[in-house]
Amino acid sequence: MATATFRFYAGLNDFLPRNRRQQDFEAAFAADASVKHMVEALGVPHTEVALVLVGGQPVGFSRRLQDGQRVAVYPHFMAFGLESLPRLGEAPPLPLRFIADSHLGGLARLLRMAGFDTLYRNDYADREVVELAARDGRVVLTRDRDLLKRGAVHHGCYLRATIPAAQLHEVVARYRLAGQFRPFSLCTVCNLPLRPVAREAVLERLPASVKIKPLHFTTCDACGRIYWEGSHWRRMRALLDAAETGG
Ligand SMILES: [Zn+2]
């Protein structure tokens, strides 16, 4: 059987067993195995790979491997000097839109709060996530690497963190979202635009402590929720500001 020497760089090592991290290793492959097939067989979802060099030259995912070749695999955060090489795959369409898998409700809520269109339901089947992502050109957000290995997933992001605020930092860094936040422009429950509303129009639906304050109000026409700049708003605003500025 043919073998090639592989080396994965930076964060891609997280997907490898310990004895293969941060070092060259040999792996056997069947005749005609493509770069994409081997990278995923070794544990790394294709969505996390930005560049593959075979024998020092950039190649596409469909390139067939040959016996004795050396394969270097790089993530989206590049080592200095590699930034100018062509990236694998297409960039997701703009404006960026997301779909969070059924375990990422907290992250979905934060992304909506920051103004990014993010589909989410806690009962999504994997198949639905893949189909909705393909339909709208959405980026799949997940901690399930097998979901990202599906061929129909073109844009995806594996999240390492388990805490929603830290996951938001990861998404901001990966997609360079700093400067694009539109805080409190979407309903965090419905993922639909909020519109300004006069206080008088919603007065009877406000808690007594809020009624007396000269605040700015918005509402969601789908669910009727009212949003205002209270203490919760300020806490969340601080969290969003920290994520946007990398603080
Ligand atoms: Zn709503």
Structural contact between residues 130 and 140, judged by C-beta atoms closer than 8 angstroms? yes
User: Which residue carries 């007396």 as its tokens?
Assistant: 212
* Angle between helical axes of 231-245 and 105-113 (0-180°, round to 10): 90
Q: What is the pLDDT of residues 172-207, one digit of tens each?
A: 999 999 999 999 999 999 999 999 999 888 888 888
pLDDT score for 91: 87
Query: How far is the centre of ligand 1, averaged over its atoms, from the C-alpha of 224 (Å)?
Result: 6
Query: How far is the centre of ligand 1, averaged over its atoms, from the C-alpha of 220 (Å)?
Result: 5
pLDDT score for 214: 78
pLDDT score for 84: 82
User: Is 3.10.20.30 the CATH classification of the domain at 2-74?
Assistant: yes
pLDDT score for 51: 95
- Cα(1)–Cα(57) distance, rounded to whole angstroms? 24
Could you give the dihedral angle defined by the CA atoms of residues 244, 223, 235 and 195, in that order, rounded to the nearest 10 degrees?
Answer: 60
Structural contact between residues 197 and 215, judged by C-beta atoms closer than 8 angstroms? no
| Under-70 pLDDT residues of the chain | 78-80
pLDDT score for 79: 65
| Domain ranges (residues) in the chain | 2-74, 91-192+232-247
Closest CA to 155 of 72, 110, 112, 99: 99
Query: How far is the centre of ligand 1, averaged over its atoms, from the C-alpha of 193 (Å)?
Result: 8
N- to C-terminal Cα distance for the chain? 50
